[in-house]
Structure 1
């Protein structure tokens, strides 16, 4: 646990008692604060009471007397589409609003660091797609290279629930826009921007607000090094804002769209080959085509980002390449579930928007595509004929099944409604060389509590198919 600094002897309110909220409350108590906890859910309040935390009804007008700060869980809106009433009341009372990420950055360093030979570092990764894989890949490479490391944030453990730092340790944080948007302190040593696509627009009031939330990771604390995906205009803009000139190697540009050139530091992947250039010269390369845990262009972008970070941390290209080959991938992200008679079954339940689904579709051929769920703004309207060229047939499920069907043009498709029916029909139709791919391009909430449960259901159903049951 990371004890929170700066609130000793003060009352700090905590709104939202999920994983991050409970960890924040305990970390505040460990730092000498009085955590006053609240959640609209009676079940969550009971859980907090069971952990000896103090409940404090933050909906009452008198709730803010002598309260030094309000710590908010990431899922609770503070501005768009409209502020949560409790957060609005705190702001009206002049109470500062923060989250666990802000508390972490103000509290991570401690007096033990004076005796360390190598100061710990924090690597923070944000972006629309690829955050989890990039974070896990960096963590994996560091582990394989013998470097002490912890993985936290939107993946792994809550940021305040990790262990206190060791000499030379690297903490790898995956940060969503919900987390970067509100944190009052953001000071990573290395910050990564993978890419940007339309997502969470209601929460941020549009694309401008969404990008602004991501940009805060770079603008608030000024990382020593920034790894920026420049395949979208926003990434090009961000890299330009951070750089002092073409040869400024504090900014590492990455791409999977084109070869990058110039006197600075670049990492890019083309036709399955990753290349690193510095001062106009190639200094490293990796053939990504044979790395089973990183299939497709979208994973090659993740590899470029992870490679660039590991190079800034002093690892050699060969060390990174060896570790890449040992990476098995993450559940629900282009995860190979199994194979039978030349048919592969791949779980990419994390593909909850059209851009991540497009990336998954580009990674395979002869696809039996399982898609649908609770469609987001625009559905799959932006998918082109080229995007769908590898789809042999689509099997559509959930709330948006019929809406998706209208957008598929000449692509053969079938309304299956449920995951069970879709897996059964796709497996029945599949021939050797086909890939049965779950890449929903939609949220899961019409049929499942989250994308993990959706992916687990797919995996269970595939296991039954593979066993012949």
Structure 2
């Protein structure tokens, strides 16, 4: 646990008592503060009481009397589409509002750092797609290189739940726009921007607000080194704002679409090969094509970003390449589950929108595609240009028939359930085929979340013969 600094002897309100909220309350208490906890749900309040925290009704008129700050869980809106009433009341009363990310950065460094031979570092990863894979891959490379490391944030543990730093440790944090938007302190040593595509637009009042939330990671703290994906206009703009000129190697540009050899420092992937260039010459190259944990151009972009971040720490290219080969990938993200009778079974249940589904469809050949669920606004017609390698689709869930109509004349079968879809794929698939679960839809019609959907698919695949 990271004891929160700066609130010793003060009352600090905590709104939202999920994983990060309870970890925040514990870290505040460890730092000498008195956490006053509130959640709109009785279940959340009960969890806090069981953990020994005081429940303090933050909806009361005098709730913020004597309170030094309000700490908010990331899922609670503070501005758009409209502020949560408790947050609005705190702001009206002049109470500083922060989140656990802001507390982490004000509390991570301690006087113990003066006794270390190597100062601990933080790497923060943000963007729309690939954040989790990039974060996990950086963490894996560090582990394989023998560096002490912890991973937290939007993946794994809450940031305040990790252990205090060791000598030379590197903490790798995945940060969502919800987390970067509100944090009052953001001071990573290395900051990574993967890419940008529309998401959470209601929470940020459009693409401009969404990008602005991501940009804060680079603008507020000024990282020592920035790794920027430049395959979208926003990344190009962000890189331009950071660099003082073409040769400025505090910035590492990353692309999975084109060569970037003319900059101070760049890492790019073309035709399945990763290349590192610095000051006009190539320093390293890695063949990504046979790395099973990183299939497809979208994962090659993740590999480039992770490579750049770990090279910035001085890790050798050969060691990074070895770590790539031992990386198993994350569950539910282009995860190869099995190969049976020459058929590859891939779980990409995390592909809940058309953008991520398109990347999965572009990554494989001879696809038997399982898709559907609770369709999202805008439908799936945009996937029509990504069906070249789909032999047949097997649609499930609430939007199965809508998908079939939108993607006609694609050969398809309405299966309704995951069990029926897996059975149909088992019946039809031939050696050399890939059965790909990439739903392009939310899971809530049949499953509580995408993880449960992917787990069900994995269980059905595991039970298949061969």
Whether the TM-score (by the shorter chain) exceeds 0.5 is yes
Q: Does 1:132 align with 2:136?
A: no
User: Is the contact between residue 272 and residue 300 of structure 2 (CA under 8 Å) also seen in structure 1?
Assistant: yes
Q: How does 1:28-107 map to 2 (within 5 A)?
A: 28-107=28-107
In the alignment, the residues of structure 2 paired with residue 82 and residue 37 of structure 1 have an alpha-carbon distance, to the nearest angstrom, of 22
Q: Does 1:181 align with 2:171?
A: no
User: Is the contact between residue 379 and residue 441 of structure 1 (CA under 8 Å) also seen in structure 2?
Assistant: no
- For the aligned residue pairs, the C-alpha RMSD in angstroms reads 1.2
User: Is the contact between residue 151 and residue 173 of structure 1 (CA under 8 Å) also seen in structure 2?
Assistant: yes
In the alignment, the residues of structure 2 paired with residue 332 and residue 263 of structure 1 have an alpha-carbon distance, to the nearest angstrom, of 35
Moved more, 212-221 or 426-435: 426-435
Per-residue CA distance 1:408-433 (angstroms, 9 max, x = gap) = 13211222222222222222221211
Aligned residues: 466
Displacement, 1:163? 0.4
Corresponding residue for residue 147 of structure 1: 147
Corresponding residue for residue 417 of structure 1: 416
Corresponding residue for residue 401 of structure 2: 402
Displacement, 1:465? 2.3
Corresponding residue for residue 112 of structure 1: 112
In the alignment, the residues of structure 1 paired with residue 400 and residue 197 of structure 2 have an alpha-carbon distance, to the nearest angstrom, of 23
In the alignment, the residues of structure 2 paired with residue 443 and residue 394 of structure 1 have an alpha-carbon distance, to the nearest angstrom, of 17
Q: Which runs of 5+ in 2 are unaligned?
A: none
Give 3-state SS (helix, strand or coil) of 1:368's partner: strand
Give 3-state SS (helix, strand or coil) of 1:394's partner: strand
Give 3-state SS (helix, strand or coil) of 1:69's partner: strand
In the alignment, the residues of structure 1 paired with residue 15 and residue 370 of structure 2 have an alpha-carbon distance, to the nearest angstrom, of 38
Corresponding residue for residue 442 of structure 2: 443
Corresponding residue for residue 306 of structure 1: 306
Q: Does 1:213 align with 2:222?
A: no
TM-score by length of 2: 0.98
In the alignment, the residues of structure 2 paired with residue 177 and residue 412 of structure 1 have an alpha-carbon distance, to the nearest angstrom, of 38
Moved more, 421-430 or 455-464: 421-430
Displacement, 1:84? 1.4
Corresponding residue for residue 371 of structure 2: 371
Give 3-state SS (helix, strand or coil) of 2:358's partner: helix
User: Is the contact between residue 255 and residue 269 of structure 2 (CA under 8 Å) also seen in structure 1?
Assistant: yes
Q: How does 1:16-31 map to 2 (within 5 A)?
A: 16-31=16-31
Give 3-state SS (helix, strand or coil) of 1:5's partner: coil
Displacement, 1:447? 2.1
Corresponding residue for residue 320 of structure 1: 320
Corresponding residue for residue 463 of structure 2: 464
Corresponding residue for residue 229 of structure 1: 229
Displacement, 1:263? 3.8
Corresponding residue for residue 251 of structure 1: 251
Distance 1:22 1:432, change over 3 A: same
Give 3-state SS (helix, strand or coil) of 2:62's partner: helix
Displacement, 1:196? 0.6
Give 3-state SS (helix, strand or coil) of 1:382's partner: helix
Corresponding residue for residue 349 of structure 2: 349
Give 3-state SS (helix, strand or coil) of 1:301's partner: helix
Displacement, 1:379? 2.6
Q: How does 1:154-169 map to 2 (within 5 A)?
A: 154-169=154-169
In the alignment, the residues of structure 1 paired with residue 289 and residue 71 of structure 2 have an alpha-carbon distance, to the nearest angstrom, of 45
In the alignment, the residues of structure 1 paired with residue 207 and residue 411 of structure 2 have an alpha-carbon distance, to the nearest angstrom, of 33
Displacement, 1:364? 0.6
